[in-house]
């Protein structure tokens, strides 16, 4: 369903593009129809839809086979608040909801001398983040109806699916992660100007700054004892409308 929604949004945008975007005429977009809205406004608002692909980056205590992370595309949706500093710099707040799933696959080498079943070799990590980035956007000079930009900053996220305070651990089939996390983000994109809105596709990398693993009570746990740190890394592809 979410993929269909994004495809419909893309179809609408590119239909508008045939009439407006690929022209030498410089569009003055009117985001609110009744009130003229331009890049010179101090504050602008919008929303974004997107897909994400999250991974984990591991550091290990001992030289065992790496934990394999099977990634699945996730869904992102949120709001945008944009504060104009000057013609080339903006400050952006982009609170959003991010849903993603990762599977951790362990080698049998983690269970030497320990009885295990096939299900013990895999742990599913479902994450539902309330994600709040504070970003700086650096834009080039507008060229007709195009304006490339780069963006970077820091973010915090509340993982509603972390199970950090769950008394059960991997011995009961429960893999736990921290609830509060910090990231830094870097990306790039292009603003496309239309008569009624501004459309901005972008690609952004997100990199965890804190160890997200909640370790098992057993210090020799095969699931957590060899992991020195586990940090999120991922990629966003966002479609922004302002």
Q: State which fold the 2-241 domain adopts.
A: Porin (2.40.160)
Q: Is there a contact between 235 and 202 (Cβ–Cβ < 8 Å)?
A: no
Q: C-alpha angle 208/210/214, rounded to 5°?
A: 115
Residue 41 confidence (pLDDT): 86
Structural tokens at position 59: 């550091």
Report the first-to-last Cα separation within the chain, whole angstroms. Answer: 23
Q: Cα dihedral sign for 113, 116, 121, 124?
A: negative
Q: Are strands 89-93 and 68-84 parallel, antiparallel or unpaired?
A: antiparallel
Q: Are strands 198-208 and 43-60 parallel, antiparallel or unpaired?
A: unpaired
Q: Name which of 23, 2, 163 is nearest 72 in CA terms.
A: 2
Q: pTM score, two decimals? A: 0.82
CB neighbour class for 32 (10 Å; exposed up to 12, middle 13-18, buried from 19): exposed
Q: For the chain, what percent of residues have pLDDT higher than 90?
A: 75
Above 70 in pLDDT, residue 7? no
Q: Is there a contact between 128 and 163 (Cβ–Cβ < 8 Å)?
A: no
Quick count: other Cβ atoms within 10 Å of Cβ 96? 22
145 or 203: which leads in pLDDT: 203
Residue 17 confidence (pLDDT): 46
Q: Which of 58-62, 195-199, 231-235 has the lowest mean pLDDT?
A: 195-199
Q: How far apart are CA 8 and CA 230, in angstroms?
A: 37
Structural tokens at position 235: 């990629």
CA-CA-CA-CA torsion for 88, 91, 93, 99, nearest 10 degrees?
50
Residue 229 confidence (pLDDT): 97
Q: For residue range 213-240, what is the model confidence (pLDDT) as tens digits? A: 999 999 999 999 999 999 999 999 999 9
Q: Which residues pair with 139 in a beta bridge?
A: 149
Residue 29 confidence (pLDDT): 54
Residue 27 confidence (pLDDT): 64
Q: What average pLDDT does the chain have?
A: 88
Query: Residue ranges of the domains in the chain?
Result: 2-241
């Amino acid at each position: 369903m979410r993929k269909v929604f994004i495809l419909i949004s893309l179809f609408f945008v590119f239909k508008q593009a045939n009439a407006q975007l690929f022209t030498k005429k410089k569009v003055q977009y009117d985001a609110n129809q009744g009130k003229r809205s331009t890049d010179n406004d101090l504050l602008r608002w919008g929303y974004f839809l997107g897909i994400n692909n999250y991974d984990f980056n591991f550091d290990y205590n001992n030289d065992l086979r790496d934990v394999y992370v099977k990634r699945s595309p996730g869904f992102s949706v949120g709001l945008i608040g944009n504060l104009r500093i000057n013609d080339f710099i903006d400050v952006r707040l982009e609170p959003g909801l991010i849903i993603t799933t990762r599977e951790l696959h362990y080698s049998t080498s983690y269970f030497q001398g320990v009885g295990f079943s096939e299900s013990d070799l895999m742990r599913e990590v479902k994450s539902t983040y309330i994600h709040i980035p504070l970003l700086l956007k650096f834009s080039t000079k507008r060229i007709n109806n195009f304006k490339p930009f780069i963006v970077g900053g820091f973010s915090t996220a509340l993982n509603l699916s972390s199970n950090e305070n769950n008394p059960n651990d991997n011995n009961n089939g429960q893999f736990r992660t921290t609830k509060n996390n910090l990231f830094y983000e870097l990306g790039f994109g292009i603003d496309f100007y239309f008569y009624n809105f501004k459309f901005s596709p972008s690609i952004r990398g997100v990199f965890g700054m804190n160890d997200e693993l909640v370790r098992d009570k057993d210090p020799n746990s095969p699931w957590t004892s060899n992991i020195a740190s586990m940090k999120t890394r991922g990629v966003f592809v966002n479609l922004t409308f302002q």
